[in-house]
Structure 1
């Protein structure tokens, strides 16, 4: 899990056709910038009316929900796992919001959750330093039993499963990265090389390398088998240096590029194409358009043309030429890496906490502290849909194929939807700071 927003224990002017329509903005603006009081009998503006187009909700956390992920075979089964400030995680049904399994045993907030590549196991990571594992016990995925507790790190920052096997990696605030073999829970390696919190990490799509980034500004490419560092870039490299360190990273589908986002708005493109032959990692691009001092919370490779099947395992894109970045400045930027420049951008009204690509399509969705989820088309930056229903910031988002089922008030949903033919093919799940996870259909 790489590049997601993580809690801790303590404008280049926009092109005219890329601006968000005024109807999408919540702030009331009058001539001269003076607010006009409403008469007592005047009807409220539409922007003052709470809107909720969710189709199901999960309420059991009751405190901030920090992370959410869908089962890798979603929508069959239609399951999500979420973790939160209640020191626990839940496996739950996205159709009706019903509880499936309560994943307990943590003594501090659960900030990372992850299904294994086959969906048979789920891992939870907490600020208590614990990584706990559960395994399904039936074909219907209705029963999950505790498997093992993995110790060693201090506060967990992220979790990442190997794309092809039962190997789990965790990044910690104590500068280390740990790797275990499941289901035995045997420790395989402890990676030491960073001097600050390990803020993000991913396996390359082929599973042969592990890439990690830290708030000390260093990027390391590891051999996961031996635990040896194969390449390293540090903030002493003037072309690479990112003020405040690294906050997010992505690896290209061809395993040749790593893109990292920084705590102060910078994005760097690094080639790791020849490290197996002993070559150093090389900085091949610097993308600077996000506002200075604003953290780049997510970076992801994206396809501008829809593509099907034979995509590399462990990726959501087939090509390595375009990238999306999202930051706390509210800006969402699509980059053309071949030309090293911005292709287009759009905005939320507050910090973007996460972006996720709809696999092998030009669509991607974003979550924001403006209480909304939004979906965009990377080719035009057209706003495809806005999902309302939260009363506080949205801290994470997951996307999956729409199962076509219609939910409404009678099944626990809030907003009834009765025409599945209008669906654009996806469901979204958002994790809310107010303690609820909401399910939406993209229409």
Structure 2
């Protein structure tokens, strides 16, 4: 959702971006072939809500003027193209960056400088902690908590909290499995969604409280404290594919079961 234009942007597996008027629900504009024949896998806005960033199954990020379909910049790594699973905008010391994670199991950071002359841009050098001690499985999700916290989650159930400024790991968690699932074959251990409760993370009076939530594995929501090495404070069962906060409310979306007849 773009507060600047009061518009909602959606994307499709067919690589189509659609723009909708929030107040009327009417379809405003669309453009196709955003990532060629590859599906769009993630989206985010710049801090002002004026530019759209899309990530694709082709391993490429693109920055758009979403009101006319103009591609402003292409962000990509050299070598093999791995699917981008999630992306976000960051502001560090008044500088803005685009960050992406995915099947390459690395955190990729691209500078978003208006003075950058190149249409195709490469990522900055990887953090040393990411190269030496980072995720060993595909990274599925990234969440930030300004000014300095970042969290990533992966297919094997690991959650890592990073210091954005230094690039060092602050703490890491292995998402616990339910006792009756520990020895199950083919168990889905992935953590597809994480989110910071920023109002807690930024206030000293909540230093011992949970400020990071993760969804999965085995249909559980986990509440983590990320200070002093971090620890699990609570969890409950609630199958969830994505989460979002709005002021003091937490929203969780769960997948629909289309295998049953709906009355």
What TM-score results when the alignment is normalised by the length of structure 1?
0.46
Deviation at 1:394, TM superposition (A): 3.9
The answer to whether structure 1 residue 345 and structure 2 residue 172 are counterparts is: yes
Alignment correspondent of 1:431: 254
The two structures, once aligned, show a CA RMSD in angstroms of: 2.9
Residue 197 of structure 1, aligned match among 25, 32, 39? 39
Residue 249 of structure 1, aligned match among 87, 90, 95? 87
- The DSSP-based 3-state class of the residue aligned with 1:256 is strand
The structure-2 alpha-carbon separation of the partners of 1:429 and 1:215, relative to structure 1 and needing over 3 Å to count, comes to closer
Whole-angstrom CA distance in 2 between matches of 1:207 and 1:429: 23
Q: 1:46-85 alignment to 2 at 5 Å?
A: none
Whole-angstrom CA distance in 1 between matches of 2:67 and 2:149: 31
Task: Judge conservation of contact 2:75–2:110 (CA < 8 Å) in 1.
Answer: no
The answer to whether structure 1 residue 364 and structure 2 residue 212 are counterparts is: yes
Task: Judge conservation of contact 1:397–1:431 (CA < 8 Å) in 2.
Answer: no
Query: Matched residue pairs, number?
Result: 227
Task: Judge conservation of contact 1:201–1:212 (CA < 8 Å) in 2.
Answer: yes
Deviation at 1:252, TM superposition (A): 1.3
Whole-angstrom CA distance in 2 between matches of 1:278 and 1:180: 32
Alignment correspondent of 2:236: 388
Task: Judge conservation of contact 1:323–1:335 (CA < 8 Å) in 2.
Answer: yes
Whole-angstrom CA distance in 2 between matches of 1:184 and 1:398: 21
The answer to whether structure 1 residue 185 and structure 2 residue 2 are counterparts is: no
- The DSSP-based 3-state class of the residue aligned with 1:200 is strand
Alignment correspondent of 1:328: 155
Q: 1:126-165 alignment to 2 at 5 Å?
A: 161-165=1-5
- The DSSP-based 3-state class of the residue aligned with 2:162 is strand
Residue 135 of structure 2, aligned match among 290, 293, 298? 290
Q: Deviations over 1:359-417 (max 9, x none)?
A: 34422100102232112233335235322235xx5433445666xxxxxxxxxxxxxxx
Task: Judge conservation of contact 1:181–1:188 (CA < 8 Å) in 2.
Answer: no
Runs of 4 or more, structure 1, over 4 Å off, are 398-402, 426-430, 432-435
The structure-2 alpha-carbon separation of the partners of 1:433 and 1:192, relative to structure 1 and needing over 3 Å to count, comes to closer
- The DSSP-based 3-state class of the residue aligned with 2:113 is coil
Deviation at 1:163, TM superposition (A): 2.9
- The DSSP-based 3-state class of the residue aligned with 2:219 is coil
Deviation at 1:322, TM superposition (A): 3.0
Task: Judge conservation of contact 1:370–1:394 (CA < 8 Å) in 2.
Answer: no
The structure-2 alpha-carbon separation of the partners of 1:261 and 1:229, relative to structure 1 and needing over 3 Å to count, comes to same
Larger radius of gyration: 1
Deviation at 1:228, TM superposition (A): 1.3
The answer to whether structure 1 residue 378 and structure 2 residue 219 are counterparts is: no
Structure 1: any 5+ residue segments left out of the alignment? 1-160, 303-316, 403-425, 436-443
Whole-angstrom CA distance in 1 between matches of 2:250 and 2:28: 37
Structure 2: any 5+ residue segments left out of the alignment? 177-188, 202-210, 259-263
The structure-2 alpha-carbon separation of the partners of 1:395 and 1:297, relative to structure 1 and needing over 3 Å to count, comes to same
